[in-house]
């Protein structure tokens, strides 16, 4: 899709018959929704009384339409667009936080404003450049990094976090910030099994099955971002969230950074990041599911691109939910912690602090405001603000 709204609207109308006016209205509503309440949900803690006692916040909440709070994203899209293709395209935004558009709240319809109206950026060097930039900035600020040194336990004294145990050594501090999945933070680091189990009442977000393919051919018809949709979108989500398995006709996302930076692949070749949404790990046979998914993906791409795609795969690596948990500490391999498959999901996500243990803070994709790199960085910013005003939140219990 074009980043220019007029060009996008013309393209959508030509390809699907969706009237351009419907898209304009949808994006205008998305912008208003974000400007009214987006700041509340993304930039502030939802777990402080002061957030909800702010008169600006109270005025903003009065402007939110009933459908955004109590109807699904799919319902909002069905009442906004005439064609099934446009509805499916905008239903996909639920996957941006690992959720089901047929259950997730219509509030997620504000996401297209960020992507379409404000625009997106490609970091030179790929996503790793964001990590490198943060690392370099932290070093300039005097931060010391200790790699390959897993924290064994968070030290507590008189209801307060006072440091961590690393390689059997006590390292004391005034505060502790954990960016590990909050489930494992409670279960392994503070040894509060009951609190960890309480978190399991909430449904986990979807995970991903990823194939990293080094392609021996360039595909001029493809771009940086490419989506090949399922013909039965609701059935696909039913398989992921209700049946806990994969659908035979998955929606396939392909990212090819060599389209932006030719040096990411040898001349005449491409680097394909091929991903499908899958359920979080509950003990499924991922070896069998990988093979079935690979065949379904290749059959779909070969049919749609009209070439035998498998013949052009030069190298391959894989990543599934079990590997994701092992590498990142994300419980069950879910990409975004808990899902947003309930009307009150934003309020149910764990806070960036806990009053059970003073001086302990949480950031990352498993806590407020959510998963994905932008929101993970937002959670870190919220924590930095909370650290500066501890007396404001220590009395609240989360």
116 touches 5 (CB < 8 A): yes
* Nearest-angstrom CA–CA distance, 330 and 137: 26
Unique residue bearing structure tokens 């990094």: 145
How many domains would you assign to the chain?
A: 3
Q: Does 159 share its domain with 184?
A: yes
DSSP labels for 57-98? HHHHHHTS-HHHHHSBHHHHHHTT-SSHHHHHHHHGGGGGGT
Q: Does 13 share its domain with 108?
A: yes
Spans of the chain below 70 pLDDT: 52-53, 56-67, 346, 390-398
- Per the domain annotation, does 368 fall within a domain? yes
Q: Does 308 share its domain with 287?
A: yes
Q: How many CB atoms lie within 10 A of CB 12?
A: 22
196 touches 183 (CB < 8 A): yes
- Per the domain annotation, does 333 fall within a domain? no
So what's the pLDDT on residue 66? 55
- Per the domain annotation, does 339 fall within a domain? no
- Per the domain annotation, does 123 fall within a domain? no
Q: Does 222 share its domain with 249?
A: yes
Where does residue 329 fall: left (phi above 0), alpha (psi -120 to 50 degrees), or beta otherwise?
left
So what's the pLDDT on residue 276? 99
Beta-sheet strand order (sheet of 225-228): 225-228, 252-255, 270-278, 207-215, 313-319
Q: Does 197 share its domain with 211?
A: no
Q: Does 47 share its domain with 145?
A: no
Residue range 350-372, pLDDT digits in tens: 999 998 899 999 999 999 999 99
So what's the pLDDT on residue 397? 42
276 touches 268 (CB < 8 A): no
Burial (CB count <10 Å: 0-12, 13-18, 19+), residue 346: buried
* Nearest-angstrom CA–CA distance, 284 and 108: 30
Q: Does 25 share its domain with 85?
A: yes
Q: Does 87 share its domain with 164?
A: no
Q: Does 112 share its domain with 47?
A: yes
So what's the pLDDT on residue 63? 63
Cα end-to-end span (Å), the chain: 42
Final residue in a domain of this structure, among 328, 360, 375: 328
Unique residue bearing structure tokens 């009933």: 66
Final residue in a domain of this structure, among 300, 328, 356: 328
Residue 312 DSSP code: G
Residue range 185-215, pLDDT digits in tens: 999 999 998 888 888 888 999 999 999 999 9
11, 84, 242 from 23: Cα distances, Å: 11, 14, 31
- Per the domain annotation, does 382 fall within a domain? yes
- Per the domain annotation, does 176 fall within a domain? yes
So what's the pLDDT on residue 396? 43
> Encoding tokens for residue 106?
């219509």
Coil, strand or helix at 105: strand
- Per the domain annotation, does 245 fall within a domain? yes
Residue 151: give its domain's CATH number: 3.50.50.60
Residue 109: give its domain's CATH number: 1.10.405
* Nearest-angstrom CA–CA distance, 283 and 327: 17
Final residue in a domain of this structure, among 90, 117, 144: 117
* Nearest-angstrom CA–CA distance, 239 and 14: 32
So what's the pLDDT on residue 389? 73
- Residue numbers of the domain that contains 303: 207-328
296 touches 250 (CB < 8 A): yes
Q: Does 22 share its domain with 132?
A: no
What distance lies between CA 160 and its chain's CA centroid? 31
So what's the pLDDT on residue 38? 80
- Per the domain annotation, does 337 fall within a domain? no
20-33 and 5-16 helices cross at what angle (nearest 10)?
A: 130
Q: Does 10 share its domain with 64?
A: yes
237 touches 100 (CB < 8 A): yes
Q: Does 298 share its domain with 268?
A: yes
Q: What angle (nearest 5°) sits at the alpha carbon of residue 77, between those of residues 76 and 80?
A: 90
């Amino acid at each position: 899709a074009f980043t220019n709204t007029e060009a996008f609207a013309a393209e959508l109308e030509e390809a699907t018959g969706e009237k351009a006016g419907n898209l304009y209205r949808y994006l205008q509503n998305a912008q208003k929704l974000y400007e009214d309440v987006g700041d509340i949900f993304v930039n502030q803690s939802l777990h402080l009384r002061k957030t909800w006692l702010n008169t600006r916040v109270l005025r903003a909440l009065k402007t939110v339409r009933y459908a955004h709070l109590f109807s699904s994203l799919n319902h909002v899209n069905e009442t906004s667009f005439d064609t099934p293709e446009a509805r499916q395209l905008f239903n996909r935004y639920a996957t941006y936080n690992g959720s089901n558009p047929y259950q997730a709240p219509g509030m997620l319809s504000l996401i297209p404003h960020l992507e379409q109206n404000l625009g997106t950026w490609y970091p030179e060097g790929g996503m790793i450049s964001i990590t490198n930039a943060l690392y370099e900035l932290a070093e300039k600020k005097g931060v010391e990094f200790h790699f390959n040194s897993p924290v064994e336990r968070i030290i507590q004294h008189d209801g307060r976090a006072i440091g961590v145990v690393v390689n059997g050594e006590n390292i004391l501090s005034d505060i502790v910030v954990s960016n590990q999945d909050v489930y494992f933070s409670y279960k392994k680091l503070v040894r509060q099994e009951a609190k960890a189990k309480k978190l399991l009442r909430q449904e986990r977000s979807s995970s991903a099955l990823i194939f990293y393919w080094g392609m021996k051919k360039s595909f001029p018809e493809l771009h940086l971002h490419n989506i090949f949709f399922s013909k039965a979108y609701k059935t696909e989500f039913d398989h992921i969230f209700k049946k806990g398995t994969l659908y035979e006709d998955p929606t396939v996302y392909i990212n090819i950074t060599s389209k932006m930076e030719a040096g990411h692949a040898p001349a005449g070749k491409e680097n394909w990041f091929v991903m499908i949404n899958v359920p979080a790990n509950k003990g499924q046979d991922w070896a069998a599911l990988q093979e079935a998914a690979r065949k379904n993906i290749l059959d779909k791409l070969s049919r749609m691109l009209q070439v035998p795609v498998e013949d052009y795969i030069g190298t391959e690596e894989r990543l599934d939910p079990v590997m994701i948990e092992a590498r990142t500490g994300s419980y069950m391999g879910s990409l975004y912690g808990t899902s947003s498959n309930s009307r009150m999901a934003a309020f149910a996500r764990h806070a960036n602090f806990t009053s059970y243990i003073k001086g302990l803070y949480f950031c990352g994709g498993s806590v407020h405001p959510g998963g994905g790199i932008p929101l993970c960085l937002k959670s870190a910013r919220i924590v930095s603000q909370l650290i500066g005003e501890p007396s404001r939140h220590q009395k609240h219990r989360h």
